[in-house]
Structure 1
């Protein structure tokens, strides 16, 4: 988690994950700037991964992410940062 991340940085991070796991066929995401960037568009196209965007203002369509974010926000700093 970070407060600001570019599409290029996210693409590099996803490539790092892809070395350890199989990439999904579809990625459900919100309309954040890092996910709507050209870098992610081209990254997904090259890897044949579909980007499935939730409707703007409908965060409940992405319940797994919202659940994680809520738990992460509520966790004590020592747990959420690992320090």
Structure 2
């Protein structure tokens, strides 16, 4: 199952929200699973605003694109996966290392896990938007009404 359906993607979102809390907004590209009716319905029911970046404008989601590039360069281009289970295990180990062992200059040389822990201590229980307030005010939003 190397591809993912909108319904399966929503299942992952439900798990993330249960673990980390509901975000105010999610910013994504226009991938098939991200524009599915299942995602549109979930975002409406969960009261999570969804912002789609303009097609062909990955710089509008720079943090994610930077992460994707790093993962591609350090892991995906360098690894021959023997099976889907092997790929999942290797990707999980890489992500754990990225989030818990590597300091990031943009986070004051803290790891993402340590940075998130510190934010949670400062603002317990606060719902965090994934995007900046400026992006939240951006008027280039896609309607979240399911078709048909």
Provide TM-score, normalisation by structure 1: 0.87
Which residue of 2 is the match for residue 16 of structure 1? 15
Bigger Rg, which one: 2
Q: After the TM superposition, which of the residue ranges 26-35 and 69-78 deviates more from structure 2?
A: 69-78
Mind listing any 5+ residue stretches in structure 2 that lack a counterpart? 80-86, 95-148
Other-structure match for 1:33: 32
Matches within 5 A, 1:38-53: 38-53=37-52
* More strand per residue: 1
Instruction: Write the mapping of 1:37-76 to structure 2, written as runs, cut at 5 A.
Output: 37-76=36-75
State the distance in 2 between where 1:59 and 1:5 align.
Answer: 21
Residue 3 of structure 1: how far off its partner (Å): 4.7
SS in 1 for 2:55: coil
Per-residue deviation, residues 27-55 of structure 1 (Å, max 9, x unmatched): 00100001100000001000000110100
Whole-angstrom CA distance in 1 between matches of 2:16 and 2:71: 20
Deviations 1:43-74 (A, max 9, x none): 10000001101001101101011001001001
- What's the TM-score once normalised by structure 2's chain length? 0.51
